[in-house]
Amino acid sequence: MKKLTFKEYIQSKTKLYEAIEKTPQRVALYTLRKYCKLPVNESEENKKHISLKPKQKLSVSWLYEDIDNPKPICINFPDVDNVDPTTKFSSQWKGERLLNWLIRNTFEEIK
């Protein structure tokens, strides 16, 4: 693996910041690795917990207004039983807390 010079590192970081400004929204697909629950809501009054099993998938749409702390826009559960795959849920948690939960409970699918 080629090591970057400092100048190349700065240039690549600048390109990354420019790309994020152009496309601030990203959809990430995650695979569960253990049994867990995720609190979500369809509206402000309708709060519930989705029970998840290993190998099920969920997708999260992230909005990168702030590069270090993305905001979750919506969460979909494409292959979870008892949940309509077209329903878009919102998160009960802020971006940092949801990211920590995802790190502990899922693997991110790399496209």
Listed by start position, the domains of the chain span: 24-108
Percent of all residues in the chain with a pLDDT value above 70, rounded to a whole number: 91
For the question of whether the overall pTM of this predicted structure is more than 0.85, the answer is no
Can you give the pLDDT at residue 59?
A: 93
76: enclosing H helix or E strand: strand 71-76
Q: pLDDT tens for residues 31-58?
A: 999 999 998 886 666 788 889 999 999 9
Quick check: 19 pLDDT over 80? no
**Beta sheet of 57-63, edge-to-edge order:** 71-76, 57-63, 25-32, 106-108
Distance CA 59, CA 77 (A): 7
